[in-house]
Amino acid sequence: MTEVIVGKNDAGQRADRFLSKAYPNLKSSLVNKLMRKKRIKLNGAKTEPNVILKEGDVFRFYLSEELLSKKPVARENDFREIKPEVCVIYEDENILLADKPAGLVVHEDNDNTADTLINRILLKKRLN
């Protein structure tokens, strides 16, 4: 079990949005499911995703450490969505200069788009 106390800066947010931002591996749909199954509790009781948080509220998680990791977990399926094309113009040990196509997102956004410039670069490094 892991506990998280809601701070002053996080008060006023919906519970599901707070958890999805704080823990990238907990997507909104997963948060909703875990709340229904009482694997995420707020102040020791079952909670709903749309509850507005107050300073001092306590979340209790009955989850694996992988889900609560601050670092997103890269899954093999995520790489299937990524196109491996990226035009690297210059690269040394400190700098990488790439030609970004118009419309390509640089890094993952709230939609968790897998095909991003950063992921294309990481995939290219992984394949080399």
pLDDT score, position 42: 94
Reported as a single tens digit per residue, the pLDDT across 17-76 is 898 888 877 778 888 888 998 889 999 999 999 999 999 999 998 877 766 766 655 554
Range of the domain at 16: 2-61
Going by C-alpha positions, the residue among 70, 63, 58 that lies closest to residue 6 is 58
Q: In Å, what is the CA distance from 33 to each residue of 22, 39, 46, 48, 50?
A: 17, 9, 12, 10, 13
Q: Are residues 6 and 44 in the same domain?
A: yes
Q: Tell me whether residue 40 is in a domain.
A: yes
User: Domain check: are 8 and 47 in the same one?
Assistant: yes
Q: Quickly count: other Cβ atoms within 10 Å of residue 20's Cβ.
A: 20
What is the value of pTM for the model shown? 0.54
Same domain membership, residue 83 and residue 57: no
Please indicate, yes or no, if residue 66 is contained in any of the structural domains. no
Q: Give pLDDT, residue 122.
A: 81
Residues 49 and 87 in one domain: no
Q: Is residue 70 part of a domain?
A: no
3-class secondary-structure state, position 108: coil
Give a yes or no: residue 33 inside a domain.
Answer: yes
Domain count, the chain: 2
Pairing of strands 40-42, 45-46: antiparallel
